[in-house]
Amino acid sequence: MSLLHRHGGYHPMRLLYDEAGLAPAIRRSLNLILLGNLFGNLHAIICGGGTTSMIGLANELQAGDLAFGILNGIPQAAALLQIPFSLLVNRTHKRKKYLLTFGLFSRALWLVFGLIPLIVPATPASLRLWTLIFLLGVSSCCSSAINVCWFPWFSDLAPIRIRGRWLSIRDTMVAACNLGFGLLVARMLDTLPPESKYVIIFLLGGTLGVLDMVCFGFCTETYSSPPKRLHFGTVLKDIFRNKPFLRLVVMWTAWCFAANTCGPYLSRYSVNEMGLSFTQMMIFGTAAASVSTILVMSRWGKALDHFGCRTVMLTAAAVMSAVDGFYLFSTPGNVIPVLLRNFVGAMFWSGTNLAANSMQLSASPDEMRPSYIAVFACVTSLVGTTLGTLFGGTLLEAWKQAGLFTGAFDRYKMLIVVSICLRLLTTWVLVPPLQNDRDGTPRQLIAAVAAGLPFKRK
């Protein structure tokens, strides 16, 4: 089929839908999921862990390194609730109902985050901070229903042969939207009056989160195989027999631990220690990463469909392991390390995330996917991301109390070295093969990219 649609435009999603022979209702639902994902990622620019908005609010509430680590770790710790939510979904098969009920409440709660400095008394000193932690905990617990509902829902709508390219097109569009919206948010943080800026920003973030959930209300709920009522004990036995899935869980848990040992603290380090403004962080951080993602995402999607998940993961993770090292050359006011870390890093973390999502879908059976995804998210988020974030925050606080790493090579740079070593070890030892993966090696992938060859489906 020609790249030009008969009506005269280039429609990459339509080409995928035509290739898979999808019915109009399925196409419409996938487009609504795409729109919801766009709203959700704009919501995450404001309300995600380690964002400039959360950094500013945490500074406003006088949170230390460990408290900031707790704020970043709470959403991941709440992933533990994905297991009971997956049981609920497996027993009732009402993904839309629970996604809208719990998801809408979770996202709507963000509308009040910016009001905390205005409505919560300033004394005792920690009351505002603990109010933020409590509200974040409630929102995060409710949002645990979102992942176990939408991801299996999407996998039932999108055939496996087009998922990699669909996700890469989605991520490219997300990056383009993030580019403009991130700059707007940063400008708001730098220019709005201090007494009202967090009210306005979190009202905007909460509204975008609500719109994300609303999109799913108009999607067709379908199952690739007839729904079965499964007992969680049966699912657990199946999971423990599924060695490729268990290896994937171990690998991604170790990766999340290593990455989050320093990752959540780099933006705060840039603002508090390097003295960069929110606008500078957005231009040389989020915007640079968005441009990079737009440039490479389609290539990762095609590489995934051609060379397989493991090859993409090995190639992307090997480079991604070292990109935080640009911060080792940071100095006050110098934006170059931030730019390089985010621009080069996005080229490869987009590949690792795409491969991880595809590996997760490939290693989980259709009829048990909600529970598989719940277990995956629970273990990787709780053991990997949460403990990694708290481990990094604890090291920072301990080194500060001990007076270690106070010169040009400060405690944050030491944390970066620890994280790089852990990630390289994880990539070298733990990336698993999958039974239904495609043939290919990192060397072949690199050679194809260097030669500028198009990736054609086998």
pLDDT in tens, 26-56: 899 999 999 999 999 899 888 887 778 888 8
CATH of residue 437's domain is 1.20.1250.20
- Alpha-carbon torsion, ordered 16, 158, 385, 82, to 10 deg: 160
Rounded to whole angstroms, the Cα distance separating 249 from 375 reads 9
Answer whether residue 16 is part of any domain.
no
- What confidence score (pLDDT) does residue 230 get? 62
pLDDT tens-digit map of 149-160: 887 788 888 887
Rounded to whole angstroms, the Cα distance separating 353 from 338 reads 21
- What confidence score (pLDDT) does residue 417 get? 95
- What confidence score (pLDDT) does residue 227 get? 60
Answer whether residue 310 is part of any domain.
yes
- Residue 10 burial (CB < 10 Å; 0-12/13-18/19+)? exposed
Q: Which of 19-23, 94-98, 223-227 has the lowest mean pLDDT?
A: 223-227
| Residue 205 C-beta-side C-alpha neighbours within 13 Å | 27
Answer whether residue 3 is part of any domain.
no
Give the chain's domain count: 1
pLDDT tens-digit map of 267-314: 889 988 898 888 888 888 878 888 888 888 777 877 877 777 888 888
Is residue 395's pLDDT more than 90?
yes
Mean predicted lDDT score pLDDT of the chain: 83
Rounded to whole angstroms, the Cα distance separating 177 from 53 reads 17
Answer whether residue 339 is part of any domain.
yes
- Alpha-carbon torsion, ordered 423, 427, 430, 431, to 10 deg: 130
Quote the tokens at residue 397: 């606080």
In the predicted model, what is the mean pLDDT of residues 222-241? Answer: 73
Answer whether residue 75 is part of any domain.
yes
DSSP one-letter code for 407: S
Please give the single-letter amino acid code of residue 260: N
- What confidence score (pLDDT) does residue 88 get? 77
- Per-residue pLDDT band for 9 (boundaries 50, 70, 90) equals very low
SS3 category, 208? helix
Top-confidence residue, 178 or 400: 400
In the predicted model, what is the mean pLDDT of residues 374-397? Answer: 86
**Phi and psi torsions of 10, nearest 5°:** -95, 115
Rounded to whole angstroms, the Cα distance separating 391 from 389 reads 5
Is residue 336's pLDDT more than 50?
yes
Is residue 194's pLDDT more than 90?
no
**Contact present, 267 and 327 (Cβ < 8 Å):** no
Is residue 8's pLDDT more than 60?
no
Quote the tokens at residue 89: 């979904």
- Per-residue pLDDT band for 338 (boundaries 50, 70, 90) equals very high
Quote the tokens at residue 273: 């220690």
pLDDT tens-digit map of 51-90: 788 888 888 887 877 788 888 778 877 877 877 887 777 7
Domain containing 315: what range? 21-450
- Per-residue pLDDT band for 458 (boundaries 50, 70, 90) equals very low
Please give the single-letter amino acid code of residue 155: S
In the predicted model, what is the mean pLDDT of residues 415-424? Answer: 94
The answer, yes or no, to whether the previous bond of 432 is cis (omega within 30 of 0) is no
Answer whether residue 11 is part of any domain.
no
End-to-end Cα separation, the chain, in angstroms? 17
DSSP one-letter code for 458: -
Answer whether residue 12 is part of any domain.
no
- What confidence score (pLDDT) does residue 95 get? 82
Q: How far is CA 121 from CA 62, 130, 138, in A?
A: 14, 12, 21
Is residue 457's pLDDT more than 50?
no
Closest CA to 375 of 87, 124, 64, 102: 87
Q: What percent of the chain has pLDDT over 70?
A: 91
Residue 360: in which H helix or E strand, if any? Answer: helix 336-362
Q: How far is CA 58 from CA 64, 68, 343, 430, in A?
A: 8, 7, 26, 35
Rounded to whole angstroms, the Cα distance separating 273 from 251 reads 33
SS3 category, 400? helix
Answer whether residue 262 is part of any domain.
yes
